[in-house]
Amino acid sequence: MPQVKYNFTDVASLQTVDKDTTIDVIGILKEVGEVSQITSKTTSKPYDKRELTLVDNTGFSVRLTIWGKTASSFDTPQDSVIAFKGVKVSDFGGRSLSLLSSGTMTVDPDIDESHRLKGWYDAEGRQSNYASHANMGSSAGGGRKEEYKTIQAVRDENLGMDETKTDYFTLKATVIYVKQDNIAYPACQTEGCNKKVLENNPGEWRCEKCDKTWDRPEYRYIMSVNVSDHTGQIWISTFDDVGRMIMGMTANELTALKEENEKAYQDKVTEANCNTWVFRCRAKMDSFQETTRYVMPCVT
List, as one string, the DSSP characters of 8-40.
B--SGGGGGSPTT-EEEEEEEEEEEPPPEEEE-
Domain annotation covers residue 176: yes
pLDDT at 138: 37
Neighbours of 19 (CB within 10 A): 14
Does a structural domain hold residue 167? yes
| Mean pLDDT across 21-40 | 91
- Residue 125 has a pLDDT of 85
Mean pLDDT, the chain, integer = 84
pLDDT band at 113 (very low <50, low <70, confident <90, very high): very high
Residue 242 three-state SS: helix
131 and 164, same structural domain? no
Place 258 in a pLDDT band, splitting at 50, 70 and 90: very high
Q: How many CA atoms lie within 13 A of 16 on its CB side?
A: 10
The CATH number of whichever domain residue 232 belongs to comes to 2.40.50.140
Residue 266 backbone dihedrals phi, psi, to 5 degrees:
-60, -40
Q: Residue 295: is its pLDDT beyond 80?
A: no
Exposure pattern of 86-96 as b/e (b: 16+ CB <10 Å)? Answer: ebbbbbeebbb
Q: So what's the pLDDT on residue 293?
A: 55
With bands split at pLDDT 50, 70 and 90, how would you rate the model's confidence at 282? Answer: confident
Q: What is the mean pLDDT of residues 118-145?
A: 64
137-158 pLDDT, tens per residue? 433 333 334 467 889 988 888 8
Amino acid letter, 30: K
* pLDDT score of 55 more than 90: yes
Q: Say whether both 173 and 248 belong to one domain.
A: yes
21 and 106 within one domain = yes
Domain containing 53 equals: 12-135
Q: Are residues 245 and 275 in the same domain?
A: yes
- Please give the tally of structural domains in the chain: 2
Q: Is the pLDDT of residue 7 over 60?
A: yes
Short-list 102, 26, 41, CA closest to 67: 102
Q: Does 53 reside within a domain?
A: yes
Prediction pTM value: 0.52
Residue 71: helix, strand or coil by DSSP? Answer: helix
**What percent of the chain has pLDDT above 90?**
48
Q: Give the residue-averaged pLDDT of 39-66.
A: 87
Of 135, 159, 191, at which residue does a domain stop?
A: 135
Shared-domain flag, residues 227 and 294: yes
pLDDT tier at 269 (50, 70, 90 boundaries)? Answer: very high
b/e code 162-175 from CB counts within 10 Å (16+ = b): eeeebbbbbbebeb
Residue type, 163: E
Buried b / exposed e along 176-204 (16+ C-beta atoms within 10 A): ebbeeeebbbbbbbbebbbebbeeeeeee
Out of 84-98, 139-153, 205-219, 224-238, least confident range:
139-153
In this predicted structure, which of 12-21, 114-123, 271-280 has the lowest mean pLDDT?
12-21
Q: How far apart are CA 264 and CA 279, in angstroms?
A: 27
In this predicted structure, the answer to whether residue 22 has a pLDDT above a threshold of 80 is yes
Looking at the structure, tell me whether residues 164 and 239 fall in a common domain.
yes
In a domain, 143, yes or no: no
